[in-house]
Amino acid sequence: MKILIKTFHGLEQVLAKELADLGAKEVQLLNRAVMCEGDQKLLYRANFELRTALRVLVPIHSFTATNEQQLYQKAYAFDWSKHLKLEQTFAINSVVNSDHFTHSQFVALKIKDAIADQFRSKFKKRPSVDVEYADIRFNVYVNQADFSLYLDSSGESLHRRGYRVQGHFAPLNEVLGAGMILLSEWESDVAFIDLMCGSGTLLMESCLIATQTPPGIKRKSYSFQNWTDYRPELLNQIRKESMSNIVEPRADIVGSDIASQAFQLSKEAISSFGFESYIQLSQKPFDKYIPSYEKGILMMNPPYGERMGNKDMNAFYAEIGSHLKNHFSGFDAWLISSNFTALKHIGLRPSRKITLYNAALECKFQKFSMYKGSKKASKQMDN
């Protein structure tokens, strides 16, 4: 069957590699998504094991419509009872890019009406809508007159790993954090350091990767468990096989933050997964941390705003660059920020630039290779 997996802009290739490693066939890159071919086992594994997936969808129908009447008639003509039982609740999520239909909620409403009317015609009753906790979720994507209908196998977004503690004003999305780490090509054999750890996303995702812990280990349910062809023994087998691969990390994972609230949130997240012995956490300013490692990965998500208290943001980023130059030779440093002007004040030439989005903010994810001595000398030593 065809499977569509949603992700963030810039993470499509990372997701494609994850899928290929799981055995997916005919892997195709799309915009903020990857399409592939796979069986039921791949569908379950994708939900349980993919780190850069937001939702796993299965296409079930497509049609064209240019007006309200056509939309209703085409939706009514599809046999919804193949995927939805009368006693189940359902919800419809729609994304619309069309000159014919300008409101996604209107599209969702018309399809909901068609489903309700079809069930009343067949069974004299209709299933109920439950936006929050629907048994069955349908996704609708409209591109001009083309409608694509999908069955959502995930339910709750897959970025919710189970360690997020409410309280941080700007948490980094878990899928974005995992994608950043995988983009850095960290091999888990050198130290991973985050000196502005916030609520701990990068620390947690790096530890999940280093220990080969499946991101769905705390997940209680998926929408596919409400499907008529659900195989609980297959999901249990996948869980057992995946969790048997969990190992201890080969290198240190280190985090710190100056804010006491961030420190506490990270501490609670780490504790919720039992990672206390794997992650070293402290409360201190970034420029007070001096690494004891000869090499490693440093990754930070610094503030983006124009000012931080009484500190000018450009000057703050210049301090980051100075600390990197003075104390992190031998490291690869990665920073993500939407403040492109401040990034220039790092004072280092990035060796790689990747465009990512943190929520609606376009960001640059930049790599700074911190050579020992001059870059020219480093290359000569490598040769």
Q: In terms of residue numbers, what domain contains 87?
A: 2-152
pLDDT at 165: 73
| Domain presence at residue 352 | yes
Q: Which amino acid is at 106?
A: F
Q: Which amino acid is at 151?
A: L
| Domain presence at residue 224 | no
Give this prediction's pTM: 0.93
Residue 375 pLDDT class (50, 70, 90 cuts): very low
Same domain, 255 and 143: no
pLDDT at 305: 85
Q: Tell me the CATH number at 315.
A: 3.40.50.150
Same domain, 325 and 192: yes
Examine the pLDDT at 167 and tell me if it is beyond 90.
no
* Average pLDDT score over the chain: 94
What's the average model confidence in pLDDT over 294-315?
84
Strand positions, DSSP E, 260-359: 279-283, 296-300, 307-308, 311-312, 331-337, 352-358
Other CB atoms within a 10 A radius of the CB of residue 323 amount to 19
Same domain, 128 and 184: no
- Strand-pair partners of 342: none
pLDDT at 70: 97
Query: How many domains is the chain built from?
Result: 2
Report d(CA 120, CA 329) in Å as an integer. Answer: 69
Residue 324 pLDDT class (50, 70, 90 cuts): very high
| Domain presence at residue 128 | yes
Same domain, 29 and 143: yes
pLDDT tens, 100-126? 999 999 999 999 999 999 999 999 999
Same domain, 64 and 112: yes
Same domain, 199 and 102: no
Same domain, 82 and 191: no
pLDDT at 166: 72
pLDDT tens, 5-37? 999 999 999 999 999 999 999 999 999 999 999
Residue 171 pLDDT class (50, 70, 90 cuts): confident
Q: Which residues, other chains included, contact 216 with Cβ-Cβ below 8 Å and sequence gap of 6+?
A: 47, 48, 49, 158, 161
Residue 169 pLDDT class (50, 70, 90 cuts): low
Q: Tell me the CATH number at 100.
A: 3.30.2130.30
Report d(CA 14, CA 4) in Å as an integer. Answer: 15
| Domain presence at residue 201 | yes
pLDDT at 381: 36
pLDDT at 371: 79
Examine the pLDDT at 143 and tell me if it is beyond 80.
yes
What's the average model confidence in pLDDT over 161-167?
82
pLDDT tens, 177-210? 999 999 999 999 999 999 999 999 999 999 999 9
pLDDT at 222: 98
| Domain presence at residue 230 | no
| Domain presence at residue 162 | no
pLDDT at 373: 55
* Joined tokens for residue 327: 């104390």
Examine the pLDDT at 307 and tell me if it is beyond 80.
no
Q: What's the sign of the alpha-carbon dihedral 326, 328, 329, 333?
A: negative
% of the chain residues with pLDDT over 90:
92
What's the average model confidence in pLDDT over 70-89?
97
How far is residue 122 CA from its own chain's centroid?
40
